[in-house]
Amino acid sequence: MSTRKPPRGGALSGRGGRSVNQRVKKGRGLKNSSRRWIERQINDPYVQRAKAEGMRSRAAYKLIEIDDKHQILKRGDRVVDLGAAPGGWCQVAVARVGSDDTDKRIAAIDYLEMDAMPGVAVLQKDFLDDDAPDALIEALGGRPDVVLSDMAAPTIGHRKTDHIRTMHLCEVAADFAIRTLKPGGHFLAKTFQGGTEKQLLDLLKSNFASVIHVKPPASRDESVELYILAKGFKGDNADG
């Protein structure tokens, strides 16, 4: 894994180099949808950049672009990363908060396996398990300054159902953030276009100084994903 620090300052647009648009030949047993996905991956400048810079996923650039603009990660922060695998967001957070193995300031959780990373306490566990929140706080060594969630339910192709399932994960993540964040802390979570539920928005607006939707350039134009960013937690959880 590369230890190169993800850049701050100036949102990355992925225009760092030219690439020839490549096509995958039609083959027996290869569905058109699979062929299109492969072509998209081959030609995606963020995928190319992630490989060149040793990032674990192109999703890292979504967090880089959001943080460059909204400044949610600060040196010395403690961070929880929900739905962390394969670890792209953790790589960004490690560099920006200054976490290392002598003082791990990031706790990451996913039911999928994730390779170990310096500066990160990795829990292979379902965040929906009853004991997961306490396990995260114990691994972090205190309350978080930032809660990140890139969790999304596996899609089934039915937009309304996919939206509802991912919104549930967003709501659970928001509840965790409200119960654990330090005052002034921030919450960033994936949602889907189709309208964030009013009840969730009202909950966040009553607990944070500002709540907005963001779609970073690294999020594909055709993707229905959005991110909800709640900044300036107004609660009093200052015992961490």
Domain ranges in the chain are 25-54, 60-233
Query: How would you list the strands of the sheet with 225-233, edge to edge?
Result: 120-124, 106-110, 79-82, 146-149, 186-192, 225-233, 208-214
Task: Give residue-wise pLDDT tens across range 49-93.
Answer: 778 777 888 899 999 999 999 999 999 999 999 999 999 999 999
Q: How far apart are CA 152 and CA 170, in angstroms?
A: 8
| AA identity, residue 228 | I
- Under-50 pLDDT residues of the chain: 1-20, 22-25, 37, 238-240
Contacts of 222 (CB under 8 A, 6+ apart): none
- Which residues are tagged catalytic? 190
CA distance 173 to 46: 27
What is the CATH topology of the domain spanning 60-233?
A: Rossmann fold (3.40.50)
Structural contact between residues 224 and 193, judged by C-beta atoms closer than 8 angstroms:
yes
Global pTM value? 0.80
Question: Ramachandran region of residue 5, left (φ > 0), alpha (ψ -120 to 50) or beta?
Answer: beta
